Amino acid sequence: MIQAVIFDMDGVLVDTEEFICEAAMQYFAERGVQVKAEDFLDFVGMGENRYIGGVAEKYGVPIEIVQAKKRTYEIYDAIVRGRIKPLDGVMDFLARCKRLKLKTAVATSADRTKMDINLREMGLTEADFNACVNGLEVERKKPHPDIFLFAAQKIGAEPAACLVVEDAISGVAAAKAAGMKCLALTTSFTPEQLAGADWIVPTLAHAPQECTAW
């Protein structure tokens, strides 16, 4: 029986892909390298170490990843102020979880800095969830299941009794590797690419009743 819902953040609770891409492109521009938005697609959902580092490798740009992320997040923070809000259906779905007495957690591959910025812009805090886990808290990133297993452990839920809400191919793979059910949103990838999920819908506004009633 379902005990908890674990949410990825980007593309699930809020759509920030455009803005983190813009910030990362500005960072590389500051380094004198012009990169393209499509360069980042292979690294979506894997955390900023791979998101920025993967593109740096592609272009042969030597970077110090901690400094690179720090500068990218500074740019990102300035870009998103007043420009992002919860995706369609998010607040109603969170209310559904509360009504059903389901525990909730955020499990994002992003660093804590980005997680905090996104929560702030959505008008939410960590107190709105039973736990919030960021990418710095696990060594192996998605598609490995570690972040979802850690989130389940933190909220005291059995993995087999958890629903993961994801939007990325790597996230769906991580959820299934954790032995969890998965609701996939087509905010970033096509239904065909997310075919491993148990349910596939456009946004949380379309989440079927059965995904929280098993």
Q: Active-site positions?
A: 8, 10
Number of continuous H segments (helices) and E segments (strands) in the chain: 7, 6
E strand or H helix at 83, and its extent?
none
Cis, bond preceding 191 (omega within 30 deg of 0)? no
Q: What is the spatial distance between Cα 38 and Cα 117, in angstroms, rounded to a whole number?
A: 24
Helix pair 48-59, 65-80: axis angle to 10 deg? 110
Integer Cα distance of 104 and 162 in angstroms? 9
Residue type, 139: E
Percent of the chain as helix, strand, coil, to the nearest 5: 50, 15, 40
CB of 102 closer than 8 Å to CB of 3: yes
